Amino acid sequence: MKRISWLIEDLGACVTSGMNQASSPPALSVSDLGHAYGKRRALDHVSFAVPAGSFTVLLGLNGAGKSTLFALITRLYDAREGRIEVFGHDVSRAPGEALRRLGVVFQSRTLDLDLSVMQNLTYHAALHGIAAAEGRERASELLAWFGLSDRRRDKVRSLSGGQMRRVEIARALLHRPSLLLLDEATVGLDIRSRADIIGHVRKLVADQAIGVLWATHLIEEVEANDHVIVLHQGEVRARGLASEIASANGGRDIKFAFAALTGADIAKAASEAA
């Protein structure tokens, strides 16, 4: 895949500093976060960090609290319990600086189906205050990187589900964020499309040093060297490398560790990843 030159330029200083200075803040820090819907606790004392330039998996069954967590990080909901920081910037106290560093792909599709691919991207660029010419240039470069240059004039409704997801990820990168949040980005896609999406995102981490928080219930999307946060019923049950979590919970693999940590039936956990 083509390297995205501006990502290297914009992220280089930040990421290099993060690797060389132990005191540098993580891409995302969540401390003692809580949230309730009435009497129901959706999140309870949730704490974890996403290292800069890492691929971190937020792994949890449906209803674990992943989407609520994303809503709090992006300020769709106000965080009244705990603290959220993006590269050291408090989301509540300095939302502009924190959110400027975030790119987000939510589970629900939000593209305008009746606009072309390029129109969707340039409209979003304008919302970020990016000049029209520069917005078109950035959009063109991203579409080329995602292999969608030939679909730039097509209406979004003519795209496949996987292609729509790639457009959404491209849109999330237009303002050159340092951290990308993806909530169940492969939900509803076939096996080939899922592999394509996650491959593109892992390539972003490896080649462009973007930090990623990848929320999923699909255990097969986790690799042994991934940073993993296991979220269950609003609580963090484990965090660390997938291989370490597996070793600490039976020593077989992350599938069995996940079942042990959440009380999920192993067969069910396997079927979720099928």
- Print burial letters for 95-132: b (CB count within 10 Å at least 16), e (below 16): eeebbbbbbbbbeeeebeeeebbbbbbbebbeeeebee
Averaged pLDDT score across all residues of the chain: 89
pLDDT tens readout for residues 57-68: 999 999 999 999
Q: Does 23 score more than 70 pLDDT?
A: no
pLDDT at 113: 96
- 5-14, 73-82, 121-130, 186-195, range with the lowest pLDDT: 5-14
Question: How far, CA to CA in Å, does 139 sit from each of 34, 146, 164, 190?
Answer: 37, 11, 14, 26
Yes or no: domain 5-101+184-272 corresponds to CATH 3.30.70.20: no
Say what percent of the chain tops pLDDT 90: 81
> Quick one: angle between helices 161-173 and 132-145, nearest 10?
130
pLDDT at 18: 41
Torsion (CA) 130, 131, 134, 135 in degrees, nearest 10: 60
Q: Does 8 score more than 70 pLDDT?
A: no
Which whole number is the average pLDDT over 192-208?
Answer: 93
Res. 225 pLDDT band, cuts 50 70 90? very high
pTM for the whole structure: 0.88
